[in-house]
């Protein structure tokens, strides 16, 4: 078996000291239009662009309530989360025509959750050949679209729902 090491990633996933403000709670509390990358607000959840996207259009659906597991989340929150994930799938397919999507969540730090205490669903568009050596070897992500442009496209699509 061969291993690829990306030590830069450890700095990212371990950078928030215990007890520091939760990223999702902080973002949810910000005013609309304040540059917080929130593209849609619903009753129990919001949809936000990932500041460090795996690919263009990388969204996250997160509850306003600080809850870390599916079993701790209220049924209404989970139901709305899935409806928003379904909407995100539809909108991303319409805007970007990806070949596929990764949809899922990492629950807990050892499962890969960078924000382990606040449940969130990732929706990541995928294209054939979108994975390359740049991230692992060059410590660089290549995004073909500026985050602000992505924000406007997706926010406009959510507004038209």
Supply the residues annotated as catalytic: 120
Is 26:141 a contact under the CB 8 Å cutoff? Answer: no
Q: What are phi and psi for residue 94, nearest 5 degrees? A: -70, -35
Instruction: Give which of 145, 140, 98 is closest to 123, Cα–Cα.
Output: 98
31: exposed, middle or buried (C-beta count within 10 Å: 0-12, 13-18, 19+)?
exposed
């Amino acid at each position: 078996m061969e291993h690829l090491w990306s030590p830069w990633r450890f700095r990212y996933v371990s950078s928030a000291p215990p007890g520091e403000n939760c990223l999702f709670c902080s973002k949810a509390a910000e005013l609309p239009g304040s540059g917080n990358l929130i593209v849609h607000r619903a009753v129990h959840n919001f949809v936000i662009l990932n500041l460090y996207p795996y690919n263009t259009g990388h969204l996250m659906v997160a509850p306003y309530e600080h809850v870390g597991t599916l079993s701790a989340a209220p049924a209404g929150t989970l139901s709305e989360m899935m409806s928003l994930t379904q909407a995100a799938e539809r909108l991303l397919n319409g805007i970007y025509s990806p070949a596929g999507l990764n949809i899922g969540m990492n629950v807990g730090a050892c499962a890969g959750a960078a924000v382990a205490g606040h449940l969130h669903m990732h929706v990541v568009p995928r294209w054939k050949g979108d994975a390359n050596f740049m991230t692992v070897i060059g410590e660089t992500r290549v995004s073909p679209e500026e985050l602000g442009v992505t924000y406007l496209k997706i926010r406009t699509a959510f507004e038209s729902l």
